[in-house]
Amino acid sequence: MKITDHIKKANGETLFSFEIVPPVKGKSIQELYNNIDPLMEFKPPFIDVTTSREEYVYKEKDGLLDKKLTRTRPGTLGICASLKHKYDVDTVPHVLCGGFTKEETEYLLVDCQYLEIENVMALRGDARKEEKYFTPTKGGHQYATELVKQIQDINEGNYLHDTIESNELSSFCIGVAGYPEKHMEAPSLQSDLKRLKQKVDLGADYVVTQMFFDNQKFFDFVKAARDMGINVPIIPGIKPIAVKRHLQLLPQVFRVDLPQDLIDAVEACENNKEVRQVGVEWAIQQSKELREAGVPVLHYYSMGKSDNIKAIAKELF
Ligand SMILES: Cc1cc2nc3c(=O)[nH]c(=O)nc-3n(C[C@H](O)[C@H](O)[C@H](O)COP(=O)(O)OP(=O)(O)OC[C@H]3O[C@@H](n4cnc5c(N)ncnc54)[C@H](O)[C@@H]3O)c2cc1C
C-alpha cells in the first residue's frame, strides 16, 4: 500500500515508522531482525531502508596499495523484500542519484515492481567520503528532481529507451527529502524550498524531513512550504541523541542546530547510558508536541540499536 494511502486510512491518527541501515556486507541479517522485532508491536505501516554511497577502500597488493570502489552496506532492496515478507509491512527503499546510472536505476525500479514494492524515497545521496561536494555519477542524475522525473516517467510507461503501453503500469508513491534548517548547500531556506516544490511538482507524493531538535523549526518549515503551495504530507524525521559525541557530529554531518537546553542536559551526563536517556526524553517531548500538532507520521532514525526507539514508541503508540 502507498504511504499516502496509509496516511489517508489513519484518518488523522499519527502513525509510527522508522528507518534502518543495512548491515555491513558479510554480516547476518539476524541482528537487523533482532532490532526490528521489538518495534513491530507499535505497528509501523512502513519501514525505510537506506542506501549507502560506494566508497574507496585500499588493499595491499604486491607491496602497493590497490584502490577499489566498493559499497560496504549493499542489499537495500533485498532487505526491503525480506522485511516485507517476514513482517508483512510496506518497505521503502532509498533510491539514490549518486553511484547509479539511469539504466541501473531503471532496473532497480523494475525489481521493485516485481517485488510489489510500491513506495520509493528519491534522493540525490551524499557526496562520497573522499569528496567535498557531490559529483554526479557518469550516466546518472545530478539532482533528486531528475530522479523523481525518471520514476514518474516509468509510472507513465516511459522507460529510458522504450515506451510501454500497458494496463499494468507501476504507480510508485514517491517520497523526497526536506530540510527544516535548509540543505547544507542551498544558498537560503527559500531557495531550498523552491527546489522542494519542484520535486513535488514533478510527482513527489510526500516529504520526509531531515532530523531537527527544535520543533519550532519544523513548524516554520511546514508553514513556509504550505505558503509556497507544497500541499503533500510532510513527515518529521526524529533522531534521539545517543552518545555525547553527537553534540559535535550531528551539526557537522547534518548541519542542524541543537537547542541549548539539550546541549546542557547532555553535557551534564556522566556516561553515554545517561546521554541515551536524555535523548529518549527529548525525543518523547518532541514527538508528543508534534503529534498534538497533527503530524501524519512520526518517523524515527534508528541507526542500529532500537532500545531507545522502543522506549519512545512505548510512550506514544
Ligand atoms: C529523510 C532522508 C533520508 C535520506 N536517506 C539517505 C540515504 O539513504 N542515503 C544517502 O546517501 N543519503 C540519504 N539522505 C541524505 C541526502 O542524500 C543528502 O542530504 C543529499 O545531500 C541531498 O539529497 P536530496 O535528495 O535532498 O537532494 P536534492 O533535492 O537534489 O538537493 C540537493 C541540493 O541541491 C539543490 N538543488 C536541487 N535542485 C537544484 C537545481 N536544479 N539547481 C541547483 N540546485 C539544486 C538543493 O537546494 C539542495 O541544496 C537522506 C536525507 C533525508 C532527509
pLDDT in tens, 16-75: 999 999 999 999 999 999 999 999 999 999 999 999 999 888 888 888 888 888 999 999
Ligand 1 neighbour 6 (Cβ under 6 A) = no
Spatial neighbors of 311 by CB under 8 A, at least 6 apart, are 280, 284
Mean pLDDT of the chain: 96
CB distance 166 to 115 below 8 Å: no
What CA–CA distances, in Å, run from 183 to 130, 187, 198, 200? 20, 9, 15, 16
Question: Residue 89: pLDDT band by 50, 70, 90 thresholds?
Answer: very high
Q: How far is the CA of 123 from the centre of ligand 1 (A)?
A: 5
Determine the residue of 52, 92, 195 to mutate for testing ligand 1's pocket, defined as the one with the most ligand atoms within 8 A of the Cβ atom. Answer: 195
How high is the pLDDT of residue 73? 94
Digit-coded pLDDT (tens) for 142-197: 999 999 999 999 999 999 999 988 888 999 999 999 999 999 999 999 999 999 99
Digit-coded pLDDT (tens) for 233-288: 999 999 999 999 999 999 999 999 999 999 999 999 999 999 999 999 999 999 99
Ligand 1 neighbour 127 (Cβ under 6 A) = no
Q: Does 304 have pLDDT greater than 90?
A: no
Ligand 1 neighbour 237 (Cβ under 6 A) = yes
Q: How many CA atoms lie within 13 A of 306 on its CB side?
A: 21
How high is the pLDDT of residue 74? 95
Q: How far is the CA of 230 from the centre of ligand 1 (A)?
A: 17
Backbone phi and psi for residue 252, each to the nearest 5 degrees, phi listed first: -70, -45
Q: How far is the CA of 235 from the centre of ligand 1 (A)?
A: 16
Instruction: Tabulate helix, strand, coil % of the chain (nearest 5).
Output: 40, 20, 40
Q: Does 129 have pLDDT greater than 90?
A: no
How high is the pLDDT of residue 18? 98
Digit-coded pLDDT (tens) for 200-214: 999 999 999 999 999
- Using a cut of 0.85, tell me whether the model's pTM lies above it: yes
Question: Residue 228: pLDDT band by 50, 70, 90 thresholds?
Answer: very high
Instruction: Give the span between the Cα atoms of 34 and 17, in whole angstroms.
Output: 17
Decide which of 164 and 316 is more confident: 316
Ligand 1 neighbour 263 (Cβ under 6 A) = no
CB distance 279 to 250 below 8 Å: no
Ligand 1 neighbour 186 (Cβ under 6 A) = yes
